[in-house]
Amino acid sequence: MRWARRLWHEILDALYPPRCAGCGLVGIEGWCEECAGQIEYVAPPVCNRCGTPLSPEEFCASCRANPLVMEAVRAAAHYRGVVQSAIHRCKYGKRPAVAPALADLLVTGWQSPLTEPLHSAEVVIPMPIHPQRERERGFNQSLLIAAHFCYHTGLSLIQGVLERVVYHRPQVGLDASERRQNVRDAFRVVQSQQVVGRTVLLIDDVWTTGSTLNEAAKALLSAGAARVFAYTVAHEPLSTM
């Protein structure tokens, strides 16, 4: 009978599409009041480079040991509670309708002094996923999030410039150096004239060590981008996985 239940849920979903991004409450666009109150936005202090919260130094130990090629990375919220459930619902529950609610966190975080270093960005590029993964999921959540973010901030989104050319195993469960190895040379820039001399803002859903974003940034910098920043919906500390 499980299939019948699932089918019934699918039918309900199709009939009543708006749901709270966090708890799935039907009839809510974005976040219900209760979930909105539970969102934990990132607050200072953070590492100047990677944005890791609770770093009392200018740069965290990881940035001192393995400097990122990106100028600065920031996340809007912590990867916990309702934010974590919403990202799961979007990616693994295959609900693209959750993406605008995730982008709203980026829009809110854009008002915070924490994201000021990123405001010099001229163009926005969503983190690409491998075409095979995009077929499995049906969409690229980062593209949907970036499009909504750009709509609200007036920044310009450029698409089809950065490609993910290697299909890697997921980063989950890997330590920092394994993560760097796993994503080596994963990206390729196909229309470099669009990034030459420009300051790029990469948009992604979650960042953990920044190794995937950093690899994408390397490809953009070798294609001639002036500087690369990254901004994600949530920050997930590596130690809590």
Quickly count: other Cβ atoms within 10 Å of residue 92's Cβ.
Answer: 9
Residue pair 212/87 in contact (Cβ under 8 Å)? The answer is no
**Nearest Cα to 229, choosing from 208, 211, 202?**
202
Cα angle, residue 236 at apex, residues 231 and 240 outer, rounded to 5°: 170
Residue 10, token pair as written in the block: 């699918």
Using the rule CB under 5 A, is 47 a contact of Zn ion? yes
Nearer to Zn ion, 28 or 223 (CB): 28
Using the rule CB under 5 A, is 87 a contact of Zn ion? no
Using the rule CB under 5 A, is 75 a contact of Zn ion? no
Site string for Zn ion, 172-211 (x = CB under 5 A): ----------------------------------------
Residue pair 164/130 in contact (Cβ under 8 Å)? The answer is yes
Using the rule CB under 5 A, is 63 a contact of Zn ion? yes
Nearer to Zn ion, 19 or 218 (CB): 19
Nearer to Zn ion, 60 or 162 (CB): 60
Nearer to Zn ion, 34 or 136 (CB): 34
Site string for Zn ion, 3-42 (x = CB under 5 A): -----------------x-xx-x------x--x-------
Q: Please state, in angstroms and rounded to a whole number, the distance separating the CA atoms of residues 92 and 88.
A: 5
The edge-to-edge listing of strands for the beta sheet with 156-157 is: 72-78, 227-235, 199-207, 123-126, 156-157
Using the rule CB under 5 A, is 86 a contact of Zn ion? no
Nearer to Zn ion, 36 or 226 (CB): 36
170 DSSP β-pair partners: none
Contacts with Zn ion by CB under 5 A lie at 20, 22-23, 25, 32, 35, 47, 49-50, 52, 60, 63
